[in-house]
Every structure is written in C-alpha cells, then in structure tokens.
Amino acid sequence: MNGPIARAELEVGRTQYAAMQQLVHRTVGLRRGEASAGPWRVPYVRCGRGPKLLLIHGFGDRKGSWSPLLLLLHRHFDCVAPDLLGFGESPAVASEHMLPREQARMLAGLLDSLETGDDTGPVHVVGQSMGAMVAAYLALERAERVATLTLISPAGPAGLAPELQMAVAGGDNPLLAKDFAGFERLLKLSMARRPPFPRPMRRFLAHQWAARHDEHTRHWERLLAVTLDELRPPATPELLPRSLLIYGEHERVVHTDNVDVYRDWFPRIRVEHLKGVGHNPHHEATNRVARLIREHARRYG
C-alpha cells in the first residue's frame, strides 16, 4: 500500500515521532554529537550525569530505540547511545566491519574519544540482541574498559530461535522487513505485547527500518557466515562476577540456548528471566529493566 492514504499516514507518523523525541530530548537534556573512533565518525546521543553507561542497539535498529530507558536512567548515569556501524545515521560500511569484534573495537575507540578530564575509566555496558554480542566481545577483549556488563536478549553462537531460523532458511527473513506489513510482522515476532504506538507512528518506524534494507541484507548474509572463532575472544576472568543477562519468556528471535553459551563464557553471570516479555524487554518491561541495570551497576560500580 503506497497510495495517498499511506503517504498521509506516514507524514502523520513522522510528526508524532518527532514530537515524542522532542519530549524525550527536553526531559533528559539529550545532546547529539559525533566522535572519532579510528577511521569512523560515530553519531551518538548523550544525556544525564553520573557513571558512564554505554547502550548498544541491535540489528537493524538505531540509537533512538533507547529513548524509553533514557527517560528512567538519565538521573543515575551519563548515558551514551551510539549508532553501530552500518545502522541509523552511521555511514555505509563494508560488511566485514559488521563483525562483533570490529564493532567492539569501534566502540572502544568511541569511549576513548569521549574521555575528558575526570571523565575516564571503565564504563557500564548494556547491549541488546546483536548489540549484546558486541558488548560481550568488548567485555571479553577489553575488560579494563567495562565496569559491568548487561546483556539483553543476546544473540550468539546458538543462532536464531527455531521459528525464525525456519523462516530465514526458507528465504523469508522478518528481520529484513521492507514495508509496513513486514514491520508489523516483525513487531509481532519480537514482542509479547505490541508497544502502544499509534498506527501512523508504526508506519514511520517501518519506513525508518526499511530505509537501509539492501545494505542490511548484505550485512545479514555476512553475519550468518560468522564462525565461533570470530565471536569468541580470549576470556578474561576478572569480569566474570560483574555480568547480568536479561531475557524474556516469550523470546522468539534468538535461540534461548545462547543463555547457556554466555553462562559458559561468563561462568558467574546472573540471569534474570522476565515473564510476559519477548525479545525487547527494554520496550516491553522498561521499568523492570531500568531497575535491574541500576541495581547491577550499584552492586559492582
């Protein structure tokens, strides 16, 4: 459906989304910036005060997806949410740079670039889905940069949930939604309960998601070919007591066997299983997730 009604709905959704983001910006004092990280210019948003908290989004997503959590965490942390390479407002990149180790090295460079004066030292790191895999790599390879690690619905070597794996194997990948109907299907797959966004705003979010469809398809094919050796960096036992994993009982995107993978990588990891929640706990159970992040940071920060 690309007729005048759909186009009008898209413009209404764009206005609704902009108004929502403006409210978030005013409430948390959000600041936009770009920082150098090796050869990259990395766009990010930042707000709040306190110990630094790095928020790493998942595949196909962008920094703005953390807005609900920023509303709850900006009073407790100096929150930094970048766009990963190849997503959001970041530049197009070769798919080799999508590997977790490459994204993690970019983020380490971003943290170095943002250090000023007393604003140094390890940070609290939170990642969701693919972003959790990147966060784990950052923590395992650069433990000195990580005060605590929180993995939300983490992707990993165990792969995709069976239902999604079957769809992808059949050439139908809901994560590569390219129109409104596909995005609605993605929401149904990834959330136990649909977020309370009006239909025009969902249409605009679908438009954002699909804007880089061809590029994301190319990245997805490279990520599917990732080997365990490309995922598993050297272990660092110093980090083991400071790790938290959060996942929902209705997880239908990543395989829940990934929980066991991360238990192996971080033998003393704490696991929180949230009822009534799917792949996006930071949207579906924002208050609970914010509380867990705060408590975890206080315990080890």
Residue type, 265: W
Q: At what angle do helices 199-210 and 180-190 cross, to 10 degrees?
A: 100
Total domains in the fold of the chain: 1
CATH code of 280's domain: 3.40.50.1820
Instruction: Please give the pLDDT value at position 38.
Output: 86
Residue type, 87: F
Contacts 24+ apart (CB under 8 A), 183-191: 183/209, 183/210, 189/163, 189/164, 189/252, 189/253, 189/279, 190/252, 190/253, 190/278, 190/279, 190/280, 191/278, 191/279, 191/280, 191/283, 191/284
Quick check: 50 and 78 in contact, CB under 8 A? Answer: yes
Q: Which residues contact 155 (CB under 8 A, 6 or more apart)?
A: 58, 59, 129, 130, 132, 133, 254, 258
For the entire predicted model, the pTM comes to: 0.94
Residue type, 109: G
Of 242, 26, 58, whose CA–CA distance to 148 is shortest? 242
**In the structure encoding, which two tokens stand for residue 248, read together?**
């929902």
Q: How do residues 217-255 score in pLDDT, each as one tens digit?
A: 999 988 887 777 666 656 655 556 689 999 999 999 999
Give the phi and the psi of residue 244 in degrees, each rounded to 5.
-135, 135
**In the structure encoding, which two tokens stand for residue 22, read together?**
């403006």
Q: Are strands 31-37 and 78-82 parallel, antiparallel or unpaired?
A: unpaired
Alpha helices in the chain (DSSP H): 4-28, 67-73, 100-114, 130-141, 162-169, 180-190, 199-210, 213-224, 228-231, 258-265, 281-284, 286-300
Instruction: Write out the residue range of the structural domain in which residue 102 sits.
Output: 4-300
DSSP 58-82: -TT--GGGGHHHHHHHTTTSEEEEE
Show pLDDT as tens, one digit a residue, over the chain (301 residues).
578 888 999 999 999 999 998 999 999 999 999 999 989 999 999 999 999 999 999 999 999 999 999 999 999 999 999 999 999 999 888 988 888 889 999 999 999 999 876 666 899 999 999 999 999 989 888 888 899 999 999 998 899 999 999 999 999 999 999 999 999 999 999 999 877 789 999 999 999 999 999 999 999 988 887 777 666 656 655 556 689 999 999 999 999 999 998 888 888 899 999 999 999 999 999 999 999 999 999 998 6
